[in-house]
Structure 1
Amino acid sequence: MALLTADDVLNKKFQATKFREGYDQDEVDDFLDEVVNTLRDLQGENDDLKTKLAAAERRIAELSRAGAQQAAPAPKPLPEPEPERQVVAAPVAPAPVAVAPVQQGRPNEPESATGMLALAQKLHDDYVRSGQEESDRLISEAKSQGARIVREAEETSARTLGQLEQERSLLERKIDELRVFERDYRTRLKSYLENLLGDLDNRGSALPPRSGQNAQPVGEGRTL
Structure 2
Amino acid sequence: MKIAILQHVDFEGPAEIENWCRQTRTEYTICRLFLGETLPKAEETDFLVILGGPMSVLDEPPWLDEERELISALISQGKPVFGVCLGGQQIAKALGADIFQGEYREAGWLPVRTVNTTILGGLPEELVVFHWHGEQFGLPEGAERLFASAVCPNQGFVYNGNVIGLQFHFESTKESIENILQNDAAFLDGTAYTQTAAEIRNHPIPASNGELLYRLLDRLKATVPDRTA
Q: For this structure pair, what is the TM-score category when the shorter chain's length is used for normalisation?
A: under 0.3
Scaled by the length of structure 1, the TM-score of the pair is 0.18
Higher helix fraction (1 or 2): 1
Q: Which has the larger radius of gyration?
A: 1
Taking structure 2 as the reference length, the TM-score comes to 0.17
Greater length-normalized contact order (CA 8 Å, ≥ 6 residues apart): 1
Q: Which has the higher strand share?
A: 2
